[in-house]
């Protein structure tokens, strides 16, 4: 009986399979936002989604491939939101603040981004990894175009800015990954040290420096 069910599921149309896949991704993202990366269980996801665990692996070969797909989804979603704010001329500081605030607001994007190279990409096939890198390239291009207009940079400079913002975003976000000390009574010098490493001001300050440094360079457009 089970084999009949499995066969009928695999015989569904491409549209139905795409809908099922997206439904699993939606359930996975909701679950991820609730419990985080480390506590995320494929067995529990299957239970929440109302499918057997094996069904998940028909769509995503590994746990990491599922998270890689969630990352790509969040990257595209964030990029669309961020570029929606890029209209007309914009200062480097406003650009950096907008980039950071929209990335933070997504919920999934930053937690997945900081785990991408060191965790998520380590248990996916090479063809799937290549596909993901091409998604990234496409998004860099999509964000670079309005970045060029808003910051009055050449295309080459805008692409460099977007790439460097990604690297800086990872580094700045990781400074907030330690244990929370919000409710602890701390000496003033320790409080000041922690505040100086807060991710948003750290990101904005260094993003402005990078953008202005790139702007000062004479780079031929291609």
Q: What pLDDT, on a 0 to 100 scale, did the predictor assign at position 60?
A: 96
Say what the pLDDT of residue 1 is: 38
Q: Give residue-wise pLDDT tens across range 122-171.
A: 999 999 999 999 999 999 999 999 999 999 999 999 999 999 999 999 98
**Cβ neighbour number for residue 56 with a 10 Å cutoff:** 21
Taking all residues of the chain, what is their mean pLDDT, rounded to a whole number? Answer: 86
Q: Which domains does the chain have, with CATH numbers?
A: 1-59 (1.10.10.60), 62-216 (1.10.357.10)
In this predicted structure, the answer to whether residue 184 has a pLDDT above a threshold of 90 is no
Going by C-alpha positions, the residue among 93, 74, 221 that lies closest to residue 139 is 74
Tens of pLDDT, residue by residue over 70-87, are: 999 999 999 999 999 998
12-40 pLDDT, tens digit per residue, is: 788 888 999 999 999 999 999 999 999 99
Structure tokens given for 85:
């704010």
Q: For the chain, what percent of residues have pLDDT higher than 70?
A: 82
Given pLDDT bands bounded at 50, 70 and 90, which one contains residue 88? confident
Count of Cβ atoms closer than 10 Å to residue 217 Cβ: 11
CB 124 within 8 A of CB 62: yes
Token couple for 196: 């100086």
């Amino acid at each position: 009986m089970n084999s009949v069910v499995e066969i009928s599921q695999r015989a569904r149309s491409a549209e139905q399979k795409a809908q099922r896949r997206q439904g699993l991704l939606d359930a996975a993202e909701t679950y991820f936002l609730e419990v985080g990366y480390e506590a995320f269980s494929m067995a529990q996801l299957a239970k929440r989604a109302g499918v057997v665990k094996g069904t998940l692996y028909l769509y995503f070969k590994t746990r990491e491939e599922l998270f890689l797909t969630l990352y790509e989804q969040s990257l595209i979603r964030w990029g669309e939101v961020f570029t929606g704010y890029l209209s007309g001329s914009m200062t480097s500081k406003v650009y950096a603040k907008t980039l950071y605030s929209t990335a933070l607001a997504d919920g999934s994007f930053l937690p997945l981004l900081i785990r991408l190279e060191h965790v998520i990409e380590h248990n996916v096939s090479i063809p799937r990894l290549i596909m993901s890198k091409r998604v990234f390239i496409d998004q860099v291009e999509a964000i670079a175009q309005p970045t060029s207009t808003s910051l009055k940079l050449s295309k080459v400079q805008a692409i460099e800015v977007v790439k460097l913002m990604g690297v800086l975003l990872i580094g700045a976000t990781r400074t907030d990954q330690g244990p929370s000390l919000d409710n602890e009574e701390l000496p003033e010098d320790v409080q000041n040290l922690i505040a100086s490493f807060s991710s948003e001001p750290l990101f904005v300050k260094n993003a402005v420096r990078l953008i202005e440094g790139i702007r000062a360079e004479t780079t031929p457009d291609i």
